[in-house]
Copies of this chain bind each other. A is one copy, B any other.
């Protein structure tokens, strides 16, 4: 009996993505073998700036970036909406937006401002940071605004395949996450949630149900990585990629005058940062890494099909 238990434990340890209760992994639910390495290469912040739109569309065309999400309140929404209408196969979600983080270049809500005053700073824009936004946000107004963003996107001909949250504002506390999840469920859209977050974010396991669709892990770079180590960071992560569904969250734009103007006092996620992401994720080196490591690119559209 003891041996059997040890053997069973060993099997469980070899198959960390099989739910302890024997439920299917997300990879299996998608119809892939449980050891498949599945990757969503996801570009955030579409609609924010022309530079972001242009670089991301170029990256989609390389076939190496499989998904992206759109910021509805931003000034360049119309440009990416036109792309979405012309490319209905593109895997485009909504990057629900409740912050406006660049000091020279700003945006505010889709909802009439007097109905969402808890979301606005003294200048009438969204707050600069996710912490301020979450601290002031009235959950009813958050619901109103994120539904308005989804409705505006649909009115412009965008058929979103998934939802996520710009700067993670909607993951800042349980109340906001519940609003987010309620709206996503009512729209039958999957939400960016990773199983690896469960350990740090105690409200996630209690809020989600087995019917919700979420992925295994998120991979993203951070400011501790030196610019010269950018490609090495991503290459190492891809070589070590575990089975299951991983989303690498990237930020694409060109290091041009517009992006430098927007991010002039904010090197993190700034113009040069985004150019480095663009260069790596459209490179032949990245394409080769995917092949050599037997990694398959997938989309949120596939995940969304699992929602009942």
Given contacts A256-B256, A258-B257, A261-B79, contact A50 B105 (CB under 8 A): yes
Q: Can you report 10 A-B residue pairs in the complex whose CB atoms are below 8 A from each other?
A: A75-B105, A78-B103, A78-B123, A82-B103, A112-B113, A112-B114, A122-B155, A123-B155, A256-B257, A256-B258
Q: Does A127 contact B (CB under 8 A)?
A: no
Contact across chains for A75 and B75 when beta carbons are under 8 A apart: yes
User: Which B residues touch A123, using CB under 8 A?
Assistant: 78, 152, 155-156
Residues of B within 8 A of A257 (CB): 50-51, 54, 254, 256-258
| B residues in contact with A155, CB < 8 Å | 122-123
Determine whether the beta carbon of B112 is less than 8 Å from that of A54.
Answer: no
Q: How many copies does the complex hold?
A: 2
Which residues does A use to contact B, with CB under 8 Å? 49-51, 53-54, 74-79, 82, 103-107, 110, 112-115, 122-124, 152, 155-156, 254, 256-258, 261-262
Q: How far is the CA of A104 from the CA of B77 in the complex (A)?
A: 7
| A106 neighbours in B (Cβ, 8 Å) | 75, 77-78
Chain B minimum-CB-distance residue to A55: B257
**Shortest CB distance A187–B (Å):** 20
Nearest-CB residue, chain B, relative to A156: B123
Q: How far is the CB of A152 from chain B (nearest CB, A)?
A: 7
Are A105 and B78 in contact (CB-based, < 8 A)? yes
Chain B residues contacting A77 (CB-CB under 8 Å) are: 106
A201 to chain B, nearest CB (A): 33
For A260, the closest partner residue in chain B by CB is B50
The contact of A261 among B54, B74, B107, by CB within 8 Å, is: B54
